[in-house]
Structure 1
Amino acid sequence: MLKIITKIPTLFSNLSMRLLRSPARVSIMGFAGLIVCGTLLLLLPIATVDKPLNVVDALFMSTSASCVTGLSVMDIGSQLSLFGQLVILVLIQVGGLGILTISTLLLMMMKGRPTLSGQALIKDTFTYGEGKQTAAAVLRAIFLTAMGIEAIGALCLYLRIAPQAGWSSSAYPAVFHAVSAFCNAGFSLNADSFMGFREDWIINGTLAGLIIVGGIGFVVIADVKDCYISRKKTHRRLSLHSRLALSATAVLILVGTVAILCMEWRNTLAPLSMPGRLLAALFQSISARTAGFNTLNIGLMANETLFFLCILMFIGACPGSCGGGVKTTTVAGLVVMGISRLRGFRRPQVFLRTLTETSMSRATSVVMMSALVITLAIMVLMMSELGDLPHTHTRGRFLELFFEVISAFGTVGLSAGATSSLSTLGRITIILLMFIGRLGPMVIGLAVSQERISRVHYAEENIMIG
């Protein structure tokens, strides 16, 4: 017994070293720690205006903010105090940039040195290929870029709302919404999000710009800057990743705008003017993929619109960004592969380049694992929320729960009205889904498993497909 007790510190040390060797595990531990800290702070009586939050609601809000989702079981503008709102704001900012990014920046400020696993995770997350930049340079660029863009967005919002709301009282809402938009969180201090500003071109344009820039990823931002903005004459083209990410983003925004205009023209868009309809459809198309702000009443939308928004939320933002989903380049790669196969090409080709087999294998794995997670979550929610009631007594509820699951997994934050009515088990399910959706099914899988190299290769044989 004494020998076992004396070996406990060694076993714990070995376990810690194994966890820290895996960047995926470090990322999971970091986000879990952030969520726990946020939960404890939101449980304090000072965090709310009236009665303190219960543990499940505090955990839900902390997870939603840390995973930059935006789903909420309360009106944070009226039910949370200034302290509670600042906790949400900090969780959004830290979660958006990534907990490891923030911690490494702090180490740099203290003249510390990031660990090798930390550098590997940063490069894997915010670079591609054989990047020549050091982890410190990447982190510095991320931090300065994010702070600069958020500052510009906050200034634009402040100058727009200050003349009506007051110059002294408009600074905080401007900063809060700028950070929430750039981090693609979707949290708003307004009870109806931005429905009261649905025909305001300045506010909608500023928020849409922040959402797009925050959703394309730091890699694309740096690539565009080097090619078109930097004074250095590099004479090079955008990388394939950047071209595919920007093209997919533009196509999704255009298709989403047209689809929402067609499906909601006589519904939620009916009270608006002609320019207002176009603006509302454009903003909702941009926001639906990852941000979660809304200028239209989601609960009153048609069934086909809600289903289409689910598709946009499932796709999500670009890799290395603040947004979630399976990512635009993942879906774009699979579409390119399908088109190439239909045209008779064995390998997917786009922009005079061939996509690697490794990239396509990862894309397929991400979509399959995501579909599996979503399917399981929907089944759990239907059992916890609907029980054994026949479908004739629960018409419309399936689409609401399906919408909620996709929104949580894609870290979007839009809701058709089911969030506040979820049971305790339903809220816990959404909490887990937001956590998995933020880190990605592939990261979760890599964190809990070890790569195995098979020494035996069996004979190949075809099977019938289709």
Structure 2
Amino acid sequence: MRYIRNLYNKFSFSNLSPQSLVTLSFISVILIGTFLLSRPFASTGPALNFVDSLFTSTSATCVTGLIVVDTGSCFSMAGQIIILILIQAGGLGIMSFSTLLLFFFHGRFGIGSREVIQETLAFFDTIDIGSLLKSVFIFTFAFEAIGAVLLTIRFLFDMPFDKALFTAAFHSVSAFCNAGFSTFPDSLTAYRSDIFVNSIIMFLIISGGIGFIVIYELYKNRKKGLSFHKLSLHSRAVLLFSGLLIIIGTVFLFIFEYNVSMKGYSLLAKILSSMFQSVSARTAGFNTIDISTVSMSSLLVIANLMFIGASPASCGGGIKTATLAVIFAFIRSKINDTKNVNLFYSTLPFKVISKAIVLVVFAILTVILFSFLITIAEFHNTPFSDNGTQFIQIFFEVVSAFGTVGLSAGITAALSPASRILLTIVMLIGRVGPLTLAVVIATHDENDIQYAEDNILVG
């Protein structure tokens, strides 16, 4: 008995680091989802094979939205409900659920629980953990419920009540969690001119993408007046850069696609589609434009938006808007030959700058590596002249997977099992990799080792 107890203590979850717990939680839920989605009751036809079940489960849990089979027609109601649960679990973070249960059972947070939640939501020490965590769940379910009610009212014009209710709930959760899964075979292209549906989905995507920290701060300061200058540096950076990215993306997509993929659209549909795709490209994955028909210029714009992604402590992926703000401030300081890196009249600490640089380099190397591996798996014996354009599609797919976006140039279902497994790994890395890397950097003390100074040519 003592041996069993010692063995349990040795492998107890309490001995694992927070980042390991988060990663193992995601992997555990992915495997459970894989098993459930591979059962006959989850499909309308033959049961999914292991690779496709694993891919779909990972895409849902990592709130990506890449699919190898059509969600609405290939999965039964039970299968769609499983996907919805995986999206909700992945969006909020598995450890947030478990820690909330611990809070209800014990009425307080232990040191280990606090550490897990701090690393999962990546918020600041000045915010009360219990209050924030409760707010996360309240805000999430409130936003999703309101979105579901409004979308139900709209979908009632197109389908029976029970189907309208489920379809609305599915899309509301998928939008807020920035998942991009849709029960419609062509995503939301049928509603490209619908201001009501576009507005609700965009509002949910933005709300789920700006991060719980920003929502929490806006809510707490609502009675004091929502002055931009009174917000924290983090919230100001997130709101400013999120807004700029939406505007820039909308303008570029409107110009580039006016006479390409949007040729024949009404002016209203062109404006809505441009704005919607700009918002959705930031890790949501819904589309009102057929991505496979867009120009190469727009494909590059969307790829950049996907790479940047959402904001810290949100449902989305990517390198995050706050990271972009830090990199922008760093580059500006070097151009202006400024000793300190300043943003909004605040000086950024070196640890934040180094973390941002490491995260960006990590993201670039991940995209390059997996684009290389999938290219080998698909075209290792093929001349560039035969399939050169498909490399762009593979690159776009990898960026989409890393940014947990879900937009596709149309090759996901055609990829080999090996490439699908590689994309599955990218989705998991994109969901937990930047967070884990940030935690490791933040929790390790810097070694003050200095050698004799020397020079090297750069540029």
> Which TM-score applies when normalising by structure 2?
0.94
Deviation of 1:140 (Å): 0.7
1:205-244 matches, cutoff 5 A: 205-227=199-221, 229-230=222-223, 237-244=230-237
Deviation of 1:453 (Å): 5.9
Of stretches 442-451 and 175-184 in structure 1, the one that deviates more from structure 2 is: 442-451
Does residue 191 (structure 1) correspond to residue 185 (structure 2)? The answer is yes
Q: In structure 2, which of residues 380, 384, 393 is the aligned counterpart of residue 400 of structure 1?
A: 393
The DSSP-based 3-state class of the residue aligned with 2:305 is: helix
| Percent identity of paired positions between Structure 1 and Structure 2 | 40
Corresponding residue for residue 3 of structure 1: none
- CA contact 1:436–1:444 (8 Å) conserved in 2: no
Q: In structure 1, which of residues 11, 35, 59 is the aligned counterpart of residue 54 of structure 2?
A: 59
1:32-71 matches, cutoff 5 A: 32-71=27-66
- CA contact 1:123–1:131 (8 Å) conserved in 2: no
Q: In structure 1, which of residues 94, 102, 111 is the aligned counterpart of residue 97 of structure 2?
A: 102
Q: Distance in 2 between matches of 1:291 and 1:235?
A: 26
Tell me the alpha carbon deviations over residues 106-151 of structure 1, each in whole angstroms, 9 at most, x when there is no partner: 2233346544222112124435333241x32221110001000111
Of stretches 419-428 and 103-112 in structure 1, the one that deviates more from structure 2 is: 103-112
Tell me the alpha carbon deviations over residues 64-96 of structure 1, each in whole angstroms, 9 at most, x when there is no partner: 000000001101101100000000000000100
Tell me the alpha carbon deviations over residues 169-201 of structure 1, each in whole angstroms, 9 at most, x when there is no partner: 311100000000000000000000000000000
Q: Distance in 2 between matches of 1:235 and 1:299?
A: 39
- CA contact 1:291–1:323 (8 Å) conserved in 2: yes
Q: In structure 2, which of residues 336, 339, 342 is the aligned counterpart of residue 346 of structure 1?
A: 339
Deviation of 1:441 (Å): 3.6
Corresponding residue for residue 83 of structure 2: 88
Corresponding residue for residue 147 of structure 1: 141
Corresponding residue for residue 159 of structure 1: 153
Deviation of 1:435 (Å): 0.2
The change in CA–CA distance for 1:100 and 1:65 in structure 2 (over 3 A counts) is same
Deviation of 1:297 (Å): 0.5
The change in CA–CA distance for 1:235 and 1:85 in structure 2 (over 3 A counts) is closer
The change in CA–CA distance for 1:50 and 1:369 in structure 2 (over 3 A counts) is same
Of stretches 8-17 and 337-346 in structure 1, the one that deviates more from structure 2 is: 8-17
- CA contact 2:359–2:438 (8 Å) conserved in 1: no
- CA contact 1:198–1:204 (8 Å) conserved in 2: yes
The change in CA–CA distance for 1:222 and 1:43 in structure 2 (over 3 A counts) is same
Deviation of 1:314 (Å): 0.3
Paired AA for residue 315 in structure 2 = C
Q: Distance in 2 between matches of 1:232 and 1:284?
A: 31
Q: Distance in 2 between matches of 1:343 and 1:57?
A: 51
Q: In structure 1, which of residues 11, 14, 19 is the aligned counterpart of residue 10 of structure 2?
A: 14
- CA contact 1:366–1:442 (8 Å) conserved in 2: no
The change in CA–CA distance for 1:10 and 1:358 in structure 2 (over 3 A counts) is same
Q: Distance in 1 between matches of 2:226 and 2:322?
A: 28
1:294-313 matches, cutoff 5 A: 294-313=287-306
Tell me the alpha carbon deviations over residues 318-354 of structure 1, each in whole angstroms, 9 at most, x when there is no partner: 0000000000110121012111221221222221111
Q: Distance in 2 between matches of 1:340 and 1:444?
A: 25
Of stretches 245-254 and 328-337 in structure 1, the one that deviates more from structure 2 is: 328-337
Of stretches 199-208 and 111-120 in structure 1, the one that deviates more from structure 2 is: 111-120
Corresponding residue for residue 413 of structure 2: 420
Q: Distance in 2 between matches of 1:321 and 1:372?
A: 23
Does residue 172 (structure 1) correspond to residue 166 (structure 2)? The answer is yes
Deviation of 1:303 (Å): 1.1
Q: Distance in 2 between matches of 1:355 and 1:311?
A: 25
Q: In structure 1, which of residues 117, 122, 130 is the aligned counterpart of residue 117 of structure 2?
A: 122
Paired AA for residue 344 in structure 2 = F
The change in CA–CA distance for 1:188 and 1:234 in structure 2 (over 3 A counts) is closer
Tell me the alpha carbon deviations over residues 26-78 of structure 1, each in whole angstroms, 9 at most, x when there is no partner: 10011011101111111111000111111111110000000000001101101
> Which TM-score applies when normalising by structure 1?
0.93
- CA contact 1:49–1:78 (8 Å) conserved in 2: yes
Does residue 286 (structure 1) correspond to residue 279 (structure 2)? The answer is yes
The DSSP-based 3-state class of the residue aligned with 1:257 is: helix
Tell me the alpha carbon deviations over residues 363-385 of structure 1, each in whole angstroms, 9 at most, x when there is no partner: 00000111111111011000001
Q: Distance in 1 between matches of 2:387 and 2:247?
A: 35
Does residue 376 (structure 1) correspond to residue 372 (structure 2)? The answer is no
The DSSP-based 3-state class of the residue aligned with 1:168 is: helix
Paired AA for residue 296 in structure 2 = N
Does residue 320 (structure 1) correspond to residue 313 (structure 2)? The answer is yes
Deviation of 1:391 (Å): 0.2
Q: In structure 1, which of residues 388, 391, 395 is the aligned counterpart of residue 384 of structure 2?
A: 391
Deviation of 1:159 (Å): 1.2
Corresponding residue for residue 437 of structure 1: 430
Q: Distance in 2 between matches of 1:41 and 1:320?
A: 29
Deviation of 1:226 (Å): 2.0
The change in CA–CA distance for 1:35 and 1:145 in structure 2 (over 3 A counts) is same
Of stretches 200-209 and 269-278 in structure 1, the one that deviates more from structure 2 is: 269-278
Q: What value does the CA root-mean-square deviation take over the aligned residues?
A: 2.4
Tell me the alpha carbon deviations over residues 397-416 of structure 1, each in whole angstroms, 9 at most, x when there is no partner: 01100000000000000000
The change in CA–CA distance for 1:416 and 1:113 in structure 2 (over 3 A counts) is same
Q: Distance in 1 between matches of 2:341 and 2:445?
A: 28
- CA contact 2:318–2:430 (8 Å) conserved in 1: yes
- CA contact 1:25–1:447 (8 Å) conserved in 2: no
Paired AA for residue 102 in structure 1 = F
- CA contact 2:404–2:431 (8 Å) conserved in 1: yes
